């Protein structure tokens, strides 16, 4: 519970893991200013939203949340409200004009200026910082006091790919890699604080290049792999057009790099892939998957699919369905195409109505449920290394963790296993998890 004299902040995070990472950094900066974090907006003196604009619906959620804050501000006139992230970047200072109860607006590159903006806002100034480019004020490495077993570290921000449907290059700006030195320092500090699994983040990690010395992503993985007491490394997201032999070799050869890959295809139709500006064909994608599976047989693949891109015919859609069958994704995120500002697809002809998009999405998700279950059932009998996180959400006496491939594994076991690696024999594959029994426990935290 925060004491009366403490200032209190509520941070509301929308969207992707990049935003979750940035929110943690905001919390760290605000803690240095004396702000304690609170669970509920109505307990706060400062509310910061970290927003997402990747699809129309994500943006709507932000606006409805902001709308509700109007009442809070009436009740607590000293309350400060700031909007950061991708919607802030996209809309700029027009947000301040449209929403008089907002105090400040800041884009992803202005993160380091958050303390200053809060100070200014407290003096009654309303301001918007939304220029893209080199951050005016870099953010120090911030390690939470109790970081838990798993943590994320951003290796690069922005995107240069300009997929025709995507707003990210416009709101996150050009690709910029952090130096390997800074990344390694952050990972090492997290591991010192007790973290055992790191997820390296970037919109397109495969185009990582160390600005000091040119190390590529496979090289970076090899360096992170050497950090003592770190057990597991994951990374996301990979672009199929940039996934080279080096990275496949890292997946196959580096022990701490987990056998899991998020490799969004977006569509199984060459016509759509071209219109989406993805830079590969269906055959090239499938060939990549085949080579990956040859070198890393246990790899679990994840994907993203957009249904109902402008001009998508039933045949195009069926190509996507058949591709799902050929690939056998372990996990799949699927979305209805959504018009986004600035994008080329937004200006295309041949938009599909919402009902057709909805029907296709339902059909695709039904197929994936069957395919995903098959993938999971095929795991029965295997013995998997599981990093045990704690008691399972559902099911008494069950402990829960993730396998190397990232699958949720639940099994009967003592609570003391939390934070340790255990070998678990898989007995049953379910839709969203695997069920198993303890074979042996190994590493300790
Ligand atoms: N409409 C629907 N889905 C989109 N994505 C990105 N932009 C759009 C859009 N305009 C999806 C892609 C991407 C994921 C993060 O979000 O599948 O991989
Ligand atoms: Fe968007 Fe394409 Fe960049 Fe991913 S690779 S962030 S989908 S433009």
Please give the Cα distance from 51 to 63 (Å, whole number).
10
**Other CB atoms within 10 A of residue 5 CB:** 6
For residue 2, report the distance from its CA to the centre of ligand 1, in Å: 39
Establish if 141 belongs to a structural domain: no
The string of DSSP letters for 84-132 reads: EEHHHHHHTTHHHHH-TT--EEE-GGGGGGHHHHHHHHHTT--EEE---
Residues 22 and 39 placed together within one structural domain of the fold: yes
Q: Is the pLDDT of residue 116 over 80?
A: yes
Helices H / strands E in the chain, number of each? 13, 19
Which tokens is 417 given?
A: 């296993």
Tell me which ligand sits closest to the C-alpha of residue 163. 2
Residues 81 and 174 placed together within one structural domain of the fold: no
User: What's the rounded mean pLDDT across residues 311-317?
Assistant: 98
Residues 169 and 305 placed together within one structural domain of the fold: yes
Tell me which ligand sits closest to the C-alpha of residue 342. 1
| 266 CA closest ligand 1 atom index | 17
pLDDT band at 81 (very low <50, low <70, confident <90, very high): very high
Residue 388 sits in a domain whose CATH number is: 2.40.50.140
pLDDT at 15: 94
Could you tell which of 54, 172, 303, 320 is best to mutate to test the pocket of ligand 1, judged by most ligand atoms within 8 Å of the CB?
A: 54
pLDDT band at 445 (very low <50, low <70, confident <90, very high): very low
pLDDT band at 5 (very low <50, low <70, confident <90, very high): low
User: What's the rounded mean pLDDT across residues 202-209?
Assistant: 94
Is the alpha carbon torsion for 33, 52, 72, 38 positive or negative? negative
pLDDT at 6: 85
Q: Domains in the chain: how many in total?
A: 3
Q: Which of 337, 359, 377 is the last residue of a domain?
A: 377
Residues 188 and 215 placed together within one structural domain of the fold: yes
Establish if 333 belongs to a structural domain: yes
CB 279 within 8 A of CB 241: yes
Which tokens is 284 given?
A: 């090239």
Which tokens is 190 given?
A: 């997290």
For residue 163, report the distance from its CA to the centre of ligand 2, in Å: 6
Residues 104 and 10 placed together within one structural domain of the fold: yes
Closest residue by CA, ligand 2 atom 4:
203
CB 431 within 8 A of CB 395: no
Residue 24 DSSP code: H
Establish if 259 belongs to a structural domain: yes
CB 403 within 8 A of CB 427: no
Establish if 84 belongs to a structural domain: yes
Residues 253 and 390 placed together within one structural domain of the fold: no
Residues 312 and 430 placed together within one structural domain of the fold: no
Q: Is the pLDDT of residue 443 over 60?
A: no
Strands of the sheet with 197-201, listed across from one edge: 150-154, 197-201, 232-236
**Other CB atoms within 10 A of residue 37 CB:** 16
| 169 CA closest ligand 2 atom index | 8
Nearest to 300 by CA among 292, 312, 309: 292
Tell me which ligand sits closest to the C-alpha of residue 280. 2
Q: If residue 187 lies in a helix (H) or strand (E), which one and from where to where?
A: helix 180-192
Q: Which of 326, 354, 377 is the last residue of a domain?
A: 377
Nearest to 144 by CA among 305, 13, 298, 25: 25
Establish if 138 belongs to a structural domain: no
**Ligand 1 lining (C-beta closer than 6 Å):** 54-55, 165-166, 264, 266, 304, 306, 335, 337-338, 340
pLDDT at 147: 85
Could you tell which of 166, 239, 341, 365 is best to mutate to test the pocket of ligand 1, judged by most ligand atoms within 8 Å of the CB?
A: 166
For residue 166, report the distance from its CA to the centre of ligand 2, in Å: 6
- In tens, the pLDDT along 101-110 reads 999 999 999 9
- In tens, the pLDDT along 211-260 reads 999 999 999 999 999 999 999 999 999 999 999 899 999 999 999 999 99
Residues 311 and 421 placed together within one structural domain of the fold: no
Establish if 395 belongs to a structural domain: yes
pLDDT at 1: 44
Residues 340 and 213 placed together within one structural domain of the fold: yes
Residues 218 and 325 placed together within one structural domain of the fold: yes
- Region of residue 393 (phi > 0: left; psi between -120 and 50: alpha; otherwise: beta): alpha
Residue-averaged pLDDT of the chain: 94
pLDDT at 136: 60
Residues 43 and 113 placed together within one structural domain of the fold: yes
Establish if 314 belongs to a structural domain: yes
Q: Is the pLDDT of residue 4 over 70?
A: no
| Domain, as residue range, for 438 | 383-442
Residue 223 sits in a domain whose CATH number is: 3.80.30.20
Q: Is the pLDDT of residue 294 over 60?
A: yes
250: Cβ contacts below 8 Å, ≥ 6 apart? 218, 221, 222, 257
Residues 325 and 423 placed together within one structural domain of the fold: no
Closest residue by CA, ligand 1 atom 18:
304
pLDDT at 440: 80
For residue 347, report the distance from its CA to the centre of ligand 2, in Å: 18
272: Cβ contacts below 8 Å, ≥ 6 apart? 266, 309, 311, 312, 316, 319, 320
Residues in the chain, total: 445
Establish if 389 belongs to a structural domain: yes
Q: If residue 80 lies in a helix (H) or strand (E), which one and from where to where?
A: strand 80-85
Please give the Cα distance from 391 to 163 (Å, whole number).
41
User: What's the rounded mean pLDDT across residues 29-47?
Assistant: 95
User: What's the rounded mean pLDDT across residues 432-439?
Assistant: 95
Residue 85 sits in a domain whose CATH number is: 3.40.50.280
Q: Which of 335, 360, 377 is the last residue of a domain?
A: 377
Bridge partners (DSSP) of residue 216 are 209
Please give the Cα distance from 59 to 14 (Å, whole number).
9
**Other CB atoms within 10 A of residue 84 CB:** 28
């Amino acid at each position: 519970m925060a004491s009366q004299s403490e200032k209190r902040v509520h941070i509301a995070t929308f969207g992707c893991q990049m935003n979750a990472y940035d929110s943690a950094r905001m919390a760290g900066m605000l803690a240095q200013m004396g702000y304690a974090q609170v669970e509920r907006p109505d307990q706060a003196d400062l509310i910061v939203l970290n927003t997402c604009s990747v699809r129309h619906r994500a943006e709507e959620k932000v606006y409805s949340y902001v709308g509700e804050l109007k009442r809070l501000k009436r009740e607590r006139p000293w309350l400060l409200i700031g909007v950061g992230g991708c919607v802030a970047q996209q809309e700029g200072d027009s947000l301040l004009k449209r929403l008089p109860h907002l105090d400040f607006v800041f884009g992803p590159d202005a993160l380091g200026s958050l303390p200053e903006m809060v100070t200014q806002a407290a003096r009654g100034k309303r301001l918007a910082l939304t220029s893209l480019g080199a951050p005016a004020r870099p953010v120090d490495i911030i390690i939470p006091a109790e970081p838990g077993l798993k943590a994320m570290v951003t290796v690069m921000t922005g995107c240069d790919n300009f997929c025709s449907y995507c707003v990210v290059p416009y709101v996150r700006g050009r690709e910029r890699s952090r130096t390997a030195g800074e990344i390694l320092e952050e990972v090492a500090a997290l591991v010192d604080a007790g973290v055992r699994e790191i997820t390296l983040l970037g919109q397109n990690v495969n185009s990582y290049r160390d600005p000091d010395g040119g190390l590529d992503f496979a090289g970076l993985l090899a360096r992170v792999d050497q950090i003592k007491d770190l057990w597991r490394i994951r990374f996301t997201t990979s672009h199929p057009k940039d996934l080279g032999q080096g990275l496949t070799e890292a997946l196959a050869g580096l022990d701490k790099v987990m056998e899991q890959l998020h490799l969004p295809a977006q569509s199984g139709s060459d016509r759509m892939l071209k219109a989406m500006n993805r830079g590969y064909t269906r055959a090239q994608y499938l060939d990549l998957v085949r080579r990956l599976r040859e070198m890393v047989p246990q790899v679990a693949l994840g994907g993203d699919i957009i249904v109902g891109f402008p001009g998508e015919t039933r045949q195009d859609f069926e190509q996507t369905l058949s591709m799902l069958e050929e690939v056998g994704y372990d996990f799949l995120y699927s979305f209805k195409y959504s018009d986004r500002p600035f994008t080329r697809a937004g200006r295309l002809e041949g938009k599909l109505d919402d009902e057709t998009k909805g029907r296709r999405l339902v059909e695709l998700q039904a197929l994936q449920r069957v395919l995903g279950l098959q993938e999971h059932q095929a795991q029965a009998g295997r013995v998997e290394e599981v990093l045990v996180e704690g008691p399972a959400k559902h099911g008494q006496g069950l402990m829960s963790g993730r396998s190397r491939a990232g699958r949720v594994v639940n099994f009967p076991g003592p609570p003391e296993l939390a934070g340790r690696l255990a070998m678990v024999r898989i007995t049953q594959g379910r839709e969203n998890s695997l069920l198993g029994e303890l074979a042996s426990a190994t590493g300790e935290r």
